[in-house]
Chain A
Amino acid sequence: MERKPSSRGRTLRSSKGHERREGEGVRSRLRRFSIGFGWFFLQLIVCASNLVPLDTLAQTSISAPHDVRVFDTPSDGGGSLTVQWAPSSWDGPDARYQVLAGDAAVTDPAALTIIAEFPANSKYVKDAKTAWWTRNVDKTWHQVLVRSAKGFEVKDGTSYAVAVATVQGDQRVFSPVLVASPSPDWFNWNQLNNLIIALSFGGLVFYSISYAKRHEIFLRRIPGLDAVDEAIGRATELGKPILYLTGAHDLHDPSTIAAAVILGKVAKRAALYETELLVPHREPITMAVCQEITKQAYLEAGKPDLFKEDANFFITADQFSYTAAVDGIMLRKKPAANFFMGAYFAESLLLTETGASTGAIQIAGTDSDHQLPFFVTTCDYTLIGEELYAASAYLSKEPVQIGTLLGQDIGKVVVLSAIGIGIVLATVGAVTGEQWPQLFLDLFRDLK
């Protein structure tokens, strides 16, 4: 028997079906909403991870860099132009900047040569090592130096056309073409702090010298310098020569100048004790100066007749052949005292090891920090770094030189104080985000 479905039942089914359809519609909307929200959220994360402001997403068009400036790079030796322009809202990894340069007669920026191309969120004024007293724009501005490169030469006194372009995808928008010519400068204002420090320390040294002339200054003992007399005395007793080396550098190096000054003191003692002095050189001008110093020392000692012109002699300028020759002198003449003063390189261990094998008393003094470990391990006494510069004051006991040492000590106090104050200010700046501590810290930056 066939049973008709009741209308109630139909009604019930149809309402259930409607409800089901309604339920599916809600779920579908929810699904679409959640997909849309998820996509939005994903975009949000992507934007946040790229540190790109959301409003830049809406930015589809770019425009030419604005406030572009081209001028001769200040405080340089020439051969360079500086290009600066203001930051823009589209500065980010997607956009790029091009710096173009060429002959001054070119007016179409597209005809210029591309000198540099980089992401629009790079090359800022803050990346260049400049101080506040030479900065002419905000640190957030872009800055590029135009220098000679492959296929493009920048000559002093010649005018060049320079333009900056913004590039995004296929779009390229140029700034107006500007013309400038490079030239060298007499002063590097970036190093003004260097000049101030040099003058201040110079003033301190002059004050200390005048103070030392009026007062007695205490100097602590340096064992290496006390041993100089002992070494010369030993050579005299044994009747053997003294070997004195002035290092690898010429007289442009302060350590060679210090070595030459100490040679004068050692030569004077050697003259007084009538002990032979051997000074092999690898730099002819240093040799000539040392000959004069040695001659003067013998005159001051009242023994000019003992002075030998060939006490200072040239071997060769080559590092290792000089070393081989000096090693040979050590082995054959067997000096009783070896002095290694000045700047040294890889030859230091070869020299001092051979000297140690001959039983000589060895005194080294150098500011070549990489060679100090070898001198410390193979020599009887080592003057470390600044002790070399202090040595002439110790040996002469002259007020002028002792005053210089006192001045250097005061200078070190100033440096230590600057470091202490600087660390406090740098910490304050890092914690608070304030820029004013940088005004002080810039004073102690090494700027080129």
Chain B
Amino acid sequence: MTALPFESIIGAWVATGLTLLIFSFLYKDNPLFKLAEHLYVGVSVGYVIVKTYDTVIIHLVVKPIVENGEIALLIPVAIGMLMLTRYVPKAAWMSRYAFAFIVGMGAGLAIPRTVSSFILKQVEDTIRPLLSMAGSDGVTFSMNLLNPASHLNAIIILLGVSSVLFYFFFSIEHSGVGKAVARTGILFLMISFGAGFGYTVMARMSLLIGRLTDLIEFSDASYGRPTVWLSLLTVGALFLLARRGREQPPDIH
């Protein structure tokens, strides 16, 4: 059996240690969890700064301007620089132009996308024929619930879309027939949420299985059994912290 590279062993110890520190939150909020949390936040901020510097400042701004002479890029750079005027009280008003530009551009980009995805796409997919011609059989109506393209499913989708859309009418009182329609809409929404919940929970379970698989793998002797040693260390540290917490009286101001 060939020995594992040193960096793989170090990686296994770090991954196991941080996983166990985060899992210690299942017991209660404790200094070990805080350590992992702050480490996690610090590392991610550092990573984001380096990544932004490289991808945005170097590759999207400096290189195109210096190497390709794309002077037009100075306009977005100037708009971006306006944001920094927030730190100069007398010029802080200039930052509002940058924010107005960003919010306005965001809304402008979002409107056609929203019309496309949330109106046209939904309407297009809901409009389906409720009957069809099938050769010598003439006009047919398919009742197969397992076939998403069946006519019965088209009616169910129509009922669902109409009732859910009605639920989101804000200027109409949900009473009488309207109450029944709105309740049907809520029923469709809840069925959809239930399906979404089950689907996502299964996905989360696979994430947990992934972490546990790693812990099992790292309990192997080839890694130096970090899972075993670090589990003992974490439990021991939690025990000591709990004892110290009991010995020290609560801080009362």
Contacts and interface: CB of A to CB of B under 8 A. Distances in A.
A252 B106 CA distance: 4
A370 to B, nearest CB: 6
B229 interface: no
A444 B171 contact: no
B99 A412 contact: no
A328 B34 contact: yes
A248 B110 CA distance: 16
B131 A430 contact: yes
A416 interface: yes
B158 interface: yes
Interface stretch (B43-51, B59-67, B69-77, B209-217): B43-51
A71 interface: no
A257 interface: yes
B64 to A, nearest CB: 18
A433 B171 contact: no
- Majority SS at the chain A contact face: helix
B171 A405 contact: yes
A253 B103 CA distance: 9
Interface string A310-338: 00000111101110110110011000000
A359 B95 CA distance: 39
Given A219-B171, A324-B37, A427-B129, A446 B197 contact: no
B123 interface: yes
B170 interface: yes
Interface stretch (B9-17, B161-169, B218-226, B242-250): B161-169
Contacts of A441: 127
B133 A433 contact: yes
B7 interface: no
A376 interface: yes
A251 interface: yes
A1 interface: no
A220 B173 contact: yes
Given A285-B102, A412-B165, A423 B133 contact: no
Contact of A412 (B43, B95, B168): B168
A321 B124 contact: no
Nearest to B86: A288
A48 B22 CA distance: 67
B110 A252 contact: yes
Interface in A393-448: 405-406, 408-409, 412, 415-416, 418-419, 422-423, 426-427, 429-431, 433, 441, 444-447
B41 A251 contact: no
- Counting chain B residues whose Cβ lies within 8 A of the other chain, the interface size class is 35 or more
A419 B129 CA distance: 11
A418 B193 contact: no
B235 interface: no
Contacts of A217: 171
Interface string B136-173: 00010000000000000010001001100110111111
Interface in B168-205: 168-174, 189, 192-194, 196-197, 200, 204
B233 interface: no
Nearest to B117: A446
B19 interface: no
Interface in B81-128: 83, 86, 95-96, 99, 102-103, 105-107, 109-112, 114-117, 119-121, 123-124, 126-128
B170 A390 contact: yes
A218 B171 CA distance: 5
Contacts of B22: 324
B103 A257 contact: yes
Contacts of A128: none
Given A252-B109, A373-B194, A409 B172 contact: yes
Nearest to A293: B99
From A253, A429, A441, A444, residue with most partner B Cβ within 10 Å: A444
A321 B168 contact: no
Interface in A176-235: 191, 193-195, 197-198, 201, 217-220, 222
A262 interface: no
A377 interface: yes
A325 B41 contact: yes
Nearest to A255: B110
Contacts of A426: 127-129
B57 interface: no
A128 to B, nearest CB: 15
A78 B250 CA distance: 69
Nearest to B25: A327
A418 B110 contact: no
A219 B173 CA distance: 8
A325 B83 CA distance: 26
B202 to A, nearest CB: 13
A423 B172 CA distance: 25
Contacts of B194: 373
Contacts of B44: 316-318, 321-322
A321 B171 contact: no
B133 to A, nearest CB: 6
B189 A384 contact: yes
Contact of A197 (B119, B124, B158): B119
B99 A419 contact: no
B249 to A, nearest CB: 20
3 smallest CB-CB distances across A and B, nearest first, come from A318-B44, A430-B129, A422-B127
25 contacts: A191-B116, A194-B116, A220-B174, A251-B102, A252-B110, A285-B83, A288-B95, A289-B102, A316-B41, A318-B47, A321-B41, A324-B36, A324-B40, A332-B29, A385-B168, A405-B170, A406-B171, A415-B165, A419-B161, A423-B130, A423-B158, A431-B132, A445-B120, A446-B120, A446-B124
Interface of A: 191, 193-195, 197-198, 201, 217-220, 222, 250-254, 257, 285, 288-289, 292, 315-318, 320-322, 324-325, 327-328, 331-332, 346, 349, 369-370, 372-374, 376-377, 384-387, 390, 405-406, 408-409, 412, 415-416, 418-419, 422-423, 426-427, 429-431, 433, 441, 444-447
Given A427-B131, A430-B129, 12 more contacts: A191-B116, A194-B120, A197-B120, A198-B111, A252-B106, A254-B114, A292-B99, A374-B197, A429-B129, A430-B133, A446-B116, A446-B124
